[in-house]
A and B are shown apart, each in its own frame.
Chain A
Amino acid sequence: MTRRDESAIVELEDAGATPEAVDRFLQAHEFPIREGPRTTFVFRGEADAVLLGHWLFGAAAAREMERLGESDLWFLTLELPAASRVEYRFQRAIGARTEWILDPLNPRTVRDSFGVWSVCQGTGYRRPRWTLENPGVGQGELHRVPLPAGRGDARVYTPVGFRGSRPYPLLIVLDGTDYLRYASARLVLDNLIERRDIPPLIAAFVDPRKRILDYTNSPAHAAFLAEELVPALEQRFPLRTRADERGLLGAGLGAVAALTTAWRYPGFFGKLLLQSGSFTFTDVGPSNRTRLLDPVVDFVNAYRREPRRVASRVFLSCGVYDPLIYENRTLAPLLSESGMEVRFVESPDGHNWENWRDRLRVGLSWLFPGPIWLYYR
């Protein structure tokens, strides 16, 4: 936590944080307050304590906020790197009662499968243009395709200008519905193809039946992807059949599922895009994760003992505010050592869909380079 003499909050304190002064202060600023590299989170209301929570799967990484004098204003100043993006909530405690709430002073929110979050965009963060709707960009189509073995439907993206006579690379997206809903995946593919950052490709968005089982090094799920899904898609769509033209994309446990599937079928999926993977391991100490993750721990421990080349290229990304950053930083050199071409990108963001969305361009364009390289306007 830092407090600097020239900050707005210190000025308020120096001027005396009377209720009227606090009113004026709230009217005069947008929240959180961004002052150069410093960001000040502010909460006003009755409370015995207030924490700033930045979450990962329900385990709060919470930081205590400070009350300003005798007022009902709470604040916390953090130095955030340029272009940072943080999703957060406040935890307010009144007596024995605590509650997690959105930041009432910040209208920017984001929704994911765990609910709604307030969003703080640090100085310099801009939502990339290629994640936004652009009326000039042609839209691909999403087709519902029934999956084998009672696994529901996949949604299969075919690019604008799709031709049945031409073979396309294949990208299988795990947690497909969430990627479509929270990471704007369809829009992103449309835009990246239009910009020639990636080639026209076919993407299959698939969901797990039971995530904690399917995505934790499940042989059955890996077999489903490699032995049932890919052949079924090849029957129905014109797909390139070289491993280098076939990729897996997943985030969190989805990234674990992508890597373990490639490990079970080495050389079958040539490209892996692993975002904030839950690559928990215990060979340097006990894990505090749930027992349900034991199969992941066993896999990562084994992989650390004996790294193996399972694909040709792996793109790994993780937010620096993501509690999984250590695990991902540890995995990256192991993947390289095994002989795979690896690129690891850290972003000033957390474990969330918009971070994963914002990294899709660099990841996909490295794994599947588009014709921009061949295009001279």
Chain B
Amino acid sequence: MSGLRAVVLGPQVGAISLTGGIAALDPPPGKIADITVGWRETEPVRREVDREIEKCGREPAPLLIGERVGRAFGADPELSQAHRALQEGLLAEERLYRARLSLAVEAARQISLLEVEDHHRAPYAAAARDAIREADRMHLDRHAAMWEEFRTELRPADRPGLRREKEEVEEILADAAAVVLTGGHVAVIRNRLRLLELGPALRRLPVLAWSAGAMVLTRQVVLFHDRLPHGAARPEILGYGLSLLPGIALFPDAGARLDLDDRRSLGELAGRVAPDWAVLLDPGEQLHWDGGKWTAPAGLRTLTETGELETLPALPAERAA
């Protein structure tokens, strides 16, 4: 056994390849559970993940989270409706956050472009940065509060339909030696895991996760894409993650999704996720978490608040804000 608590893989482009990651994680004997809900939980794709687990001589134990939640919603229309209403509410909040954020980001950009001496610029730049971080913080808080209100009012995990599914999942996890969490749709993965309140059950297992699956295990999930068909989008905080992987904010597929020449924006992004480290992840790369520190076979590529790309041998678990 390697003693690793988590292995994070870079994006899976083309065929999925997990054998290297599972070997690095080297979990104790036993089945490996898999969560494929964000990756399109269709038979062929799920089988692809299972086959990778089998290649390592392990028996896969698919958790079928998507199917389970769908079944629970079918049996409990009140829960389904309330969850839909929650999603609509979160979308409304996102639109408000986006409106606020767009002006804050634009102000920071304008301030950075003005031809003035730095001692004049500095206080305004700092205030502009604070405005962005305040927009992020308020959105995180609003998002968490809405989920909490939903959880308190509906008590989803105590309702018969969902409780049954949750208990079955927890039984499988109790028997498993590790869990694999795929990439894919980050909001779908996070919402399903949160609905089933699987954080505590996942916390006790070694985890192999990639891209979106790993993002939801960090403290906060940051959405980013500089190469959308219509141009760059402003990075946004989706909301809190499950906080199982400490100290980092993940930027998978950074080479394809981020404009790595735009140092000002990169620095701004690193500042927004601080005190977490902004860690970039590309195909073929791995990150290792041993419960105390982050390492990577090829070094960890992090962004600094000045927009530099820095490769470090290891990161401590926490750093001061």
Contacts and interface: CB of A to CB of B under 8 A. Distances in A.
B253 A376 contact: yes
A112 to B, nearest CB: 25
Given A197-B229, A362-B229, A366-B230, A375 B186 contact: yes
Interface residues of B, number: 21
Interface string A341-377: 0010000000000000000011101100101111111
A199 B147 CA distance: 24
B172 interface: no
A377 B184 contact: yes
Contacts of A371: 185
Interface in B155-212: 183-188, 211-212
A317 to B, nearest CB: 11
A86 B249 CA distance: 47
B233 interface: yes
Contact of A374 (B185, B229, B253): B185
A157 B83 CA distance: 28
Contacts of B212: 374-376
Given A374-B223, A376-B252, A377-B11, A361 B184 contact: no
B113 interface: no
A374 B187 contact: yes
Contacts of A365: 228-230
A373 B230 contact: no
Contacts of A343: 230
B192 to A, nearest CB: 14
B114 interface: no
Interface in A311-343: 343
Contacts of B186: 374-376
B228 A376 contact: no
Nearest to A195: B229
A361 B225 contact: no
A343 B228 CA distance: 15
Contacts of A372: 225, 228
B243 interface: no
B285 to A, nearest CB: 14
B254 to A, nearest CB: 11
Given A343-B230, A362-B230, A365-B230, A377 B13 contact: yes
Contacts of A376: 11, 183-184, 186, 211-212, 215, 252-253
Contacts of A377: 11-13, 183-184, 211, 252-253
Contacts of A374: 185-188, 212, 223, 238
B99 to A, nearest CB: 10
Which of A362, A374, A376 is the most central at the interface, judged by chain B CB atoms within 10 Å of its CB? A376
A107 to B, nearest CB: 31
A277 B184 CA distance: 39
Contacts of B11: 376-377
A356 B133 CA distance: 40
A373 B238 CA distance: 11
Contacts of B183: 376-377
A363 B233 CA distance: 15
Given A375-B184, A376-B183, A377-B13, A369 B215 contact: no
Contacts of A366: 229-230
Nearest to B250: A376
A369 B253 contact: no
Nearest to A192: B229
A31 B93 CA distance: 56
B225 A373 contact: yes
A373 B12 contact: no
Looking at A369, A373, A374, the one whose CB has the most chain B CB atoms below 10 A away is A374
A67 to B, nearest CB: 45
Nearest to A341: B102
A110 B31 CA distance: 58
B229 A361 contact: yes
Nearest to A315: B230
Contacts of B12: 377
16 contacts: A197-B229, A363-B230, A366-B230, A369-B233, A371-B185, A372-B225, A374-B186, A374-B188, A375-B185, A375-B212, A376-B211, A376-B212, A376-B215, A377-B211, A377-B252, A377-B253
Interface of A: 197, 343, 361-363, 365-366, 369, 371-377
